[in-house]
Structure formats: structure tokens, C-alpha cells
Structure 1
């Protein structure tokens, strides 16, 4: 496959995949979110999106992004410098838990429009950009492995393989956007997350942390409802 073929695959509008493929990928994604042993591994993908959201928001609000770390326990840390208060800091803190479902929603819009190639290569571009900001070995390994998987599917996969992989990824982002928010509130109730994003936002804004958790959950559920309806072709065309 040469570059002209790749560009054609990226820009081509693909027909909607069969319903059985869309539903099968939804079931696989749900399994990856619900089953605890699988979630311990698959949650790393959510962490990449979460920390990437912090990093992108920091750059967009003109904060200085120092670096991103991803850890083997699926936790992560994004460090940025700038004003310790104000809209930039608030948006940066709020971007973590909202990033996975919003990315899933954007992916669902692309897939509903038949732009499977755009979804795959935009994901690769975002991962490459994030790799430049990773500051630990495990983080590099996690992002390179994820990007390599996207690259292999995009380069070598036929239309059916690319569609299945893309739908799996989008379903996973939409479904996995909910569980971390619920886990966050559980940890807060147990007193095990005093420096969570919600607590930082509470100190920055004076709005209670529970309300921020509620906002994260509303965003995740709204994206799941809207994105899921697009993937299932319920919207009018």
C-alpha cells in the first residue's frame, strides 16, 4: 500500500457496517468496562484519554505543559504551570474526566458520517502529540503500543477490520466514560482521594466537589446517549 492508497482510505466515505458488527463491538466494549479483571487493563486506555485531556486543555489555555506521566496501576499525572487560579486552571482540571466521553462522542460523529479513516488517523495524530509530552518509561510504552495498534489496523486492515476496530474504540470511550466517575465518588466517600480533580475544582470555584462529580457524570451519560444513538443509526439522515 503506498501513500496515495492510504490517503484515499483516510478520506473515503465508508458505507455503514452491518448491525451485527456494531452490536458485537458494543458488547465487547461493555465487557471490557464491566468485568473487573479486564477493566484493570483496559482502564489504561481511559487514563491516556484522561491525561491527554488535561494536557490539551492546558495547551489551549496557554498554560505551560511540563509533562504527562502514566503509571502501571492505571493512574496518571499531568503537570502544567501558569496562574494557579482562573479559567485556564479550571478548564484544565475539568478536562480529565470529560475527555474520554467527549472523544467518544466526536468519534461517533465521524463514524456515523462514514469517516472511519479520519477517526483512526486523528487518533494516531493525538497519540503522537501526547507521546512528545510523556515523561516516564511506562507512559511511553503505553502510548506507543496504543498508537502502533491504531497504525497497524489503519495500514493493513481491510474495511471490515477497520470498521470493527473503530467501533470498538468509540463504544469503549463512550461506555468507559461513566465508570471512572463512579469510582471517583466511591474513593471520595472513603476519604482516599482528597486531591481529586473534583476537589481541586471545588477549591478553585467554590462549587462543591459533589456537584463537579455530578457534572462529570452528566457529561458522560449525555455523550453515551447521543453517541450510542449515532452508532446505532437512530438519528435521521
Structure 2
């Protein structure tokens, strides 16, 4: 494989052949296996937290808020701190971005894979993780993002076409499938009287709309992304 700058650039801009169907289905099964059993989910959920907090951070910047920092914790929780107007559209969009980010990223990734841009997907992921790394403010968060980014880089630089395809499809299937479970868990905590400062409850206070409706919106987005994204991957 050509590892020169020109060679890498040509692969990023070019397209790669579709992987065999067994690999696509196998990646879907492996992603599901990483989500359903609780012991594996406690580990794999850290990837969802990276996407969740990254979503908050990205939308905060795009809406003109000042991003102070991001923290990722070993219990798979996270915190993104931004400053600006405490109310208004920017704050609402920033609060709504967390639970929708993994599914929307998965949908975008599915569109890239359906178009044959496997290498581009890997390098876009590296770029997003590198940008997020600048804003990390704790050791565990730093470790999480560096390890995840290193995995993407190693596969994209040293992996063959089929390994790259498998890694990319696994990652996208994981985001699409994993985007659903945190929303269900959130409502479970709320039903038991917890999570009073969740994104949905913050949105309820910001908008006057019931937090339950915000949770429902999160779930609709996650399921719609899974349906559309999954169809693109299988098609």
C-alpha cells in the first residue's frame, strides 16, 4: 500500500470497492454483541460518550458559544462546558445535540460507506477526534480519545482494504445501534425519579416542553437513523 502523502490523499478522495455481504452482516452482529450484554456495554459505551459530548461541543461552537472544555469519566458519563447566553436557540441546540449525535454520526457514516468512501470515513473520524482532543480537560478523557484515535489511525494506515472496510462498517453499525440504548436508559432513570439534570430535563426548562417529549424526540431520531442508515449499509 502506498503510504506517501499523494497515495494517502488519493485513497481519501477516491472510492473503495464494496465489501462482501457476509462482512457487512458480520459487522452488524458484532456491533449488536458489543451493545446488548451489560459487561461489554459498560466498556463500549465510552465510545458513545465520546460522540455524545463531541456533539454538544461541536454544536456549541457552531452556534457561537464559547467551548470551555469536555470531560469524559470512567463511569461513561461526561460533561461539556460552554459559555454564552443561558437561554435561546444556541443553548437549546447544544443541549439537544448529545443524545442525537451518535445516531446522526452513524447516519453520515452510512452515507459515506454506501458511496464507497471507506478511507475517507476513517480519516474524517481521525480529524474529528483530533479536534475534540484539544478540548479534553481530564486524564481519562484524554486516554479515551487518544486510544480511539490511535485505533482509527492504525487501521487506516496499516490495514488492508478488507480490514479497513470491516473496521469502518463495525464502527458505523455500532453508532447506529448504540444510539438507541442510552435514550432508553435515560427514560428508565427518569421513571425511577433520577436524572433530574439530564439533557431532556434541561431542554424542558429551556423550552417549556415536557422532558418526556424530548426523550421521545431523541428516540425517534435514533430509530430513524438506524432504519435509514441500516438500509444504506445493507443496500
- Which bracket does the TM-score occupy, shorter chain normalised? over 0.9
**Corresponding residue number in structure 2 for 1:99:** 101
**Corresponding residue number in structure 1 for 2:58:** 56
- For 1:11 and 1:120, locate their aligned partners in 2 and report how far apart those are by CA, in whole Å: 12
Aligned residues: 233
How big is the alpha-carbon RMSD for the aligned residues of Structure 1 and Structure 2? Answer: 0.5
**Corresponding residue number in structure 2 for 1:68:** 70
Cα deviation 1:102-157 (Å, max 9, x = unaligned): 00000000000000011100000000000000000000000000000000000001
**Corresponding residue number in structure 1 for 2:138:** 136
1:6 deviates by 1.2
1:12 deviates by 1.8
TM-score between both structures, scaled by the size of structure 1: 0.97
- For 1:192 and 1:215, locate their aligned partners in 2 and report how far apart those are by CA, in whole Å: 19
What are the equivalent positions in structure 2 for 1:1-237 lying under 5 Å apart? 1-233=3-235
1:49 deviates by 0.1
1:2 deviates by 1.6
- For 2:93 and 2:103, locate their aligned partners in 1 and report how far apart those are by CA, in whole Å: 16
- For 1:12 and 1:154, locate their aligned partners in 2 and report how far apart those are by CA, in whole Å: 14
In structure 2, stretches of 5+ residues that fail to align are: none
1:195 deviates by 0.1
- For 1:40 and 1:157, locate their aligned partners in 2 and report how far apart those are by CA, in whole Å: 27
TM-score between both structures, scaled by the size of structure 2: 0.98
Cα deviation 1:181-225 (Å, max 9, x = unaligned): 000000111122000000000000000000000000000000000
Cα deviation 1:216-235 (Å, max 9, x = unaligned): 000000000000000001xx
In structure 1, stretches of 5+ residues that fail to align are: none
1:176 deviates by 0.2
Please give the secondary structure, in 1, of the residue aligned with 2:34: helix
1:3 deviates by 1.4
- For 1:164 and 1:5, locate their aligned partners in 2 and report how far apart those are by CA, in whole Å: 21
- For 2:10 and 2:32, locate their aligned partners in 1 and report how far apart those are by CA, in whole Å: 32
1:78 deviates by 0.2
Please give the secondary structure, in 1, of the residue aligned with 2:120: helix
- For 1:92 and 1:81, locate their aligned partners in 2 and report how far apart those are by CA, in whole Å: 11
